Chain A
Amino acid sequence: MAELSDPVIFGILLTLLIALLAAGVWVALSLMIMAFVAIVAFSNAPAGLVLATTLWGHSHSWPLAALPLFILMGEILLRSRLSEDMFSGLAPWLTRLPGRLLHVNVLGCAIFAAVSGSSAATAATIGRMSVPELKERGYPESLILGTLAGSATLGFLIPPSIILIVYGVATEQSIARLFIAGVLPGIMLVCLFGGYVMVRAWMAPDTIPKEDDTMSLREKIAASRRLLPVMLLIVGVIGTIYTGVASPTDAAAVGVVLAAVLAVMTGSFGRKEFIEALMSATRTSCMIALILFGAGFLAIAMGFTGIPRNLATWIGTFDLSPHALLTVLTVFFVLLGCFLDGISVVVLTTSIILPIVQAVGIDPLWFGIFLVLVVEMSQITPPVGFNLFVIQGLTGIDILRVAKAALPFFLLLMLGLLLITVFPGIVTMLPDAMGN
């Protein structure tokens, strides 16, 4: 089979994956089967041993331990009065803003992104609360799902960020600087997403449900008391990180404990609700874990076959100008991101891509943020997009429908990419201000 060229092999594997998924094979197992075929047909590695090593090696990582905890926190909030209270408390303030409570999805994800390093955890935690609430209030499904899928990608851009850590470690960039560099682009995306929601609401005002607009200021403030528990939770979790008593992973446990205490104190949460929350969190995190294992096996299979590496090398042979190179790389990463998870895309290609990028004079720090934006896009493209999986897991709505709802946000991320390319200062301004 050695005579097949890499693009052909890539095409065969992608077709196989799509066929498996279309036949209704579980996503995680489809990835595993595709990886298995890739290893057996296109490399010399012993597939079975590699699979076992991957399953074990990917299952016990410390940063991943935050995932089930954040999911559990979301489940507790959902099953107590806290999430309902949060929306009722915010509603009076957002009556005049086009898009109203949809902005809670965007801002909620942005705030949560400052706690969690992963976009899947962000989607799972915020979505658990916001999807049922917004649906009940009659917001249009496509916007609920789209804002959630799109905004949750901020988990990777707004620090802390697993992907920036991986990039920073692989390329020996300062992780502190990468984190700072992510802040302004994160705010930029929040504005783009929020702006888009407003435009949609302005174009079709009837689709956005009315909220009670008769309250006086005093009544609004009184209603806002219901926000207090959730604000305590946010302050508590962020506070433990930024006072240094907890690492980002530790903070997830703090979140669970605080959420449980507040839920019990507001009198709406008992043993039964807790067990339901725990079991549901167990299922959701197991679902995500199995997909991560499948994705991990696929990544290692790609490492052995050398396909992403060879494609990246091939791109390097064209001697492109910086902007042409970035355009080609965007297409390349979006294609890879269709079936590899974001972290794998970064680790499999940076060692080839970074020298090419640096050779044309692109700042590796800036490129890290560029990469994160592309990886964010890959989170919401089918067939393999983790935000899509998480949202299907939460709502039962098929990933293809979620992907369709998320398409505008994919394009907004593309716009974000264009903006940081035209105005690189959005990325470099803050880290440059760090001095030296």
Chain B
Amino acid sequence: AETWDMPTPYGDATFHTQNIRTFAEEVAAATDGALEITVHSANSLFPHAEIKNAVRSRQVPIGEFFLSRLSNDDLAYGLDSQPFVATSYEDAAKLWAAQKPVVTELLAKEGLMPLFSVPWPAQGLYTNGEIKTVDDLAGLRFRAYNAALEEFAALAKAAPVQIEAADIPQAFSTSQVEAMITSPSTGANSKAWDFVTHYTAIDAWVPKNIVVVNQRVFDRLDPAVQEAVMTAAAAAETRGWEMSKEEAAAKTKVMEENGITIVQPSAELVSGLQAIGAAMLENWNEKASDEAKAILEAYNQ
């Protein structure tokens, strides 16, 4: 029997990790214990930043990470985190269909093969007080942790502030930051009601995690085991997307129950944000590789 160590960045309460644990159980069951996967959650094996490279150099055979972390390597990885490109699960599925062949090819250059990818719930806006138009964002200290968000803040005339994830509660309570964009999962799990009053469901983008395996390690597996892994992976992807949808609804409800005002964005806010998204996409187009542009083309068809 073979044992695989699998690092993931997220904790056990995250639906992604729960999904992966089920995946591991299914692989073990389908292969009759020939392949056991040990899940190491919450960065307990490798830090998030090192997981992809650890799989690449076969320190571990398999691992999970946030796909758009790799946008600096190629913008093709980051299209799911580009604001207002794909904002619903339907669009996100369509985008992943367009993205998958390109991402597969890019990862293959590093000896990696994607097994499955599962989205986070769509990203909403957390603020103190209601945001009715894009103008309401002007001047707010806005959390920006990557280049796209910094650009977004600049276009919305907000002030980008770099806050590490762990510092968020304190940063809000001391007004170091006044607005952020993240998923309802993260909002509910970090008990956002302790520090914000309003959640606006702007559904800015639907980012994904991806699970990759080292190709050489995978190729060495018995064909029957390989097939079991691929079957379980396909099931995990389907299940993960469903879990994500349920999560979005459940966690939004948790926030509402705890006193956060859930706001559907006004038409004015939506059109303003879409204008920003369009401007960002134009800049994106200038920098994107041919592969990345091909994804957008396929998606827009």
- Chain A positions near chain B (C-beta within 8 angstroms): 44-46, 49-50, 53, 56-58, 61-63, 160, 165, 168-172, 174-177, 179, 241-249, 300, 303-304, 306, 347-348, 350-351, 354-355, 434, 436
Contact = CB atoms under 8 A, between A and B. Distances in A.
A347 B42 contact: yes
Nearest to B13: A172
Contacts of B283: none
A397 B259 CA distance: 54
Contacts of B12: 170-171, 350-351, 354-355
Contacts of B168: 175
Nearest to B41: A351
Contact of B42 (A170, A177, A246): A170
Contact of A63 (B11, B163, B166, B170): B166
B277 interface: no
A169 B166 CA distance: 8
A213 B177 CA distance: 50
Nearest to A50: B59
A199 B3 CA distance: 56
Interface of B: 3, 5, 11-14, 38, 40-47, 49-50, 53-54, 57-60, 163-171, 173-177, 189-191, 193-195, 258-259
B13 A171 contact: yes
7 contacts: A45-B60, A46-B58, A169-B165, A176-B191, A347-B43, A350-B12, A351-B41
Most chain A CB within 10 A, of B14, B46, B47, is at: B47
A10 B13 CA distance: 29
A63 B53 CA distance: 22
Given A172-B189, A176-B195, A247-B171, A57 B59 contact: no
Nearest to A347: B44
Contacts of B165: 169
B222 to A, nearest CB: 18
B166 A165 contact: yes
A124 to B, nearest CB: 22
Contact of B174 (A53, A63, A243): A243
A244 B176 CA distance: 4
Given A50-B59, A58-B47, 12 more contacts: A46-B57, A46-B58, A57-B50, A168-B166, A170-B41, A175-B190, A176-B190, A176-B194, A176-B195, A179-B169, A179-B170, A434-B194
Contacts of A165: 166
Contacts of A170: 11-12, 41-44
A44 B3 CA distance: 9
A174 B169 contact: yes
Given A171-B11, A176-B169, A304 B5 contact: yes
Nearest to A242: B174
Contacts of A175: 166, 168-169, 190
B58 A53 contact: no
A245 B176 contact: yes
A351 B17 CA distance: 11
Main secondary structure of the interface of A (DSSP, over half): helix
Given A57-B46, A248-B170, A347-B44, A49 B176 contact: no
Contacts of B173: 176
Nearest to A51: B59
Most chain B CB within 10 A, of A46, A56, A172, A348, is at: A172
Per CB-CB distance, the 9 closest pairs between chain A and chain B, nearest first, are A244-B174, A174-B191, A244-B176, A176-B169, A170-B42, A172-B13, A172-B189, A347-B44, A165-B166
Nearest to B50: A57
Contacts of B14: 172
Contacts of A174: 169, 190-191, 194
A175 to B, nearest CB: 5
Contact of B38 (A50, A245, A306, A436): A306
A188 B189 CA distance: 29
B170 A56 contact: no
A436 B259 contact: yes
A176 B171 CA distance: 10
Contacts of B3: 44
A45 B217 CA distance: 13
B54 A53 contact: yes
B59 A241 contact: no
A85 B145 CA distance: 42
Nearest to A164: B166
B193 A247 contact: no
Contact of A247 (B13, B54, B57, B164): B164
B70 to A, nearest CB: 17
Contacts of B11: 169-172, 351
Contacts of B46: 53, 57, 300
A306 B190 CA distance: 29
A351 B44 contact: yes
B43 A49 contact: no
B50 A53 contact: yes
A58 B43 CA distance: 12
A174 B11 CA distance: 13
A165 B54 CA distance: 25
Contacts of A355: 12
Nearest to A47: B59
B169 to A, nearest CB: 4
Contacts of B45: 300, 303-304
A246 to B, nearest CB: 8
Contacts of B43: 170, 347
Contacts of B164: 62-63, 247, 249
A61 B173 CA distance: 24
A56 B59 contact: no
A249 B58 CA distance: 34
B174 A241 contact: yes
B28 to A, nearest CB: 15
Nearest to B259: A436
A216 to B, nearest CB: 42
A249 B40 CA distance: 28
Contacts of A347: 42-44
Nearest to A245: B176
Nearest to B166: A165
A160 B12 CA distance: 24
Nearest to B39: A351
B194 A244 contact: no
B21 to A, nearest CB: 10
A245 B175 CA distance: 8
A56 B40 CA distance: 20
Contacts of A434: 194
B242 to A, nearest CB: 20
A185 B219 CA distance: 54
Given A56-B50, A304-B5, A49 B57 contact: yes
Contacts of A177: 191, 194
